[in-house]
Structure 1
């Protein structure tokens, strides 16, 4: 019994010691005397400072990170501006060697496989950016169109090469956090490498793998949010394309009026239709009634798509205001089909199929109607 108890004590002590093991991040930043180095937990995009070091002449630093339960992303931030990003697994001892002048751009990392992978991707991006910057300069200094065309081709080739590299990098390393970070690489301050509308497939692939293998990762909701953003962006682009095509054939709408009867936009009995997106109230009635009164007998009809989220309030407004035009309520798709981003919005439609005007207000609307009617 005593031997058994002694054995349990040894096992318990071993487990306690193992659980207490820390991750170490250390290294040297040359020529960084008096600089401040901060270690942050990236914390799914909301960094939390974990420690701070004031560097002296030798530039050495060491951070002892409390025991980790899972892989985390950390930032080493020099003088509140330059960053080295690390992907850290529990109990790793990571070593960094760099210089103040090249901090975040050129550095050596060891002791962390995923941090080394991330460095590879970051260095590849830095090289591509430098090459593109050089090509931009050459383009501005080019003496003729032939030179500019050749430089443009070289520019596109460099972009394509990095895109292909990053595409394979993401798939090869999914669903690791290295792959997650690679999804958000930018060629410049405004432009993602994965900037095409169809690049949502890379975000989706990483999100699906992460959902299967790391369902509790704090980065999964961020990926899903990014995927939703890209999905909406893609839908809006398709709708905008539909509207552009619709200059020769505008999309039909079949929306219900207050009596529940469907009213087709294309079957309106008029020469021209003023398609109006807004909220029916006294102000909109006072604005549109003079237009309707003046132009209705000349061939104009108003098709008012109401965007009031409260159906009962809309029905009451239709009854109380008793407007003479066609009043229908958006089914959640009409404003998207016509790419409406703010209210009010309008289109002037010729019943044979063309769009004659968009978002005409104040004097511009009657001026356009005078020309048409």
Structure 2
């Protein structure tokens, strides 16, 4: 008996998914557990495996289409079997659901544009949106010539921005890029974000990181070390491991550290759960596995949700310092710059050593500056003291 392939629900908040690529074409034989289709959600791009063996008899949703959760997207059966004939196509996400303006909104916007009667008449006849035309008449009024010019550009395939600049290429935002955009705007508009910066002496950090690498014979990154140290330290600074809901500050029991990973399609933040109680070796193994899965589009929703604090390291791009944006609903994020050699003052002596900048952005609604500063100061003291740092990593 055949098997319907449905748009899976890959998370509690997922309502739709976009077909990125079919790994098989109609008529191909597939094995249970074999890669079948790549799906993009608001949070991740992931590969869905075949739930049954057989012939891919029918693909109902094409690449690039967005389909609601639970809708049939393909059918796997056997030779001679007839796939179900759907009375309607899978329920695609409509333009209005994607946030496109309604006809009423478009009509209202058009009526508010300053245009000559002849320009309006021609635009209506040709189906041209006056909102998208830059007027050259008195006071920016759109003239008939402006509409004619727009028609000529459309025929030539030339596009312009709202300010009249020539467009070289139009790139639709991916679901992940749209979600990043939404969350970053939400973060900056709803939080009172403040960033504290500090330059630290990184000599001990470099020494202990290399020491731990030799001890366990494994490749360790500075981010791995920071994940462990921050996770343990945050236990004594609970307001950095909290969320604000209404007028209630909720301290989170678990310490789940998100690590920002840059991908071609956007930023993604895999999460190491309970990082405060995991040994450094397990954190290293898990962080490397998550980073690899992120680059291969194999992360599952559980691996990118539930974070309580985020670390973003741009040191590999030779960035010294930056202002990280909080990943809501978290209350803080740590930005990490590169480690570089520089003159270091120790007592009354100057020598060449390693330095690094840390940037802590926090939500001032949840904690005050002195609370965040105490955390950053203690973090600095640990990273600069090889004995304390060694103890934190043991």
TM-score (norm 2): 0.19
TM-score (norm 1): 0.19
Instruction: Choose between structure 1 and 2: higher helix proportion.
Output: 1
Taking CA–CA contacts closer than 8 Å with sequence separation of 6 or more, which of the two structures ends up with the larger relative contact order? 2
Q: Which has the larger radius of gyration?
A: 1
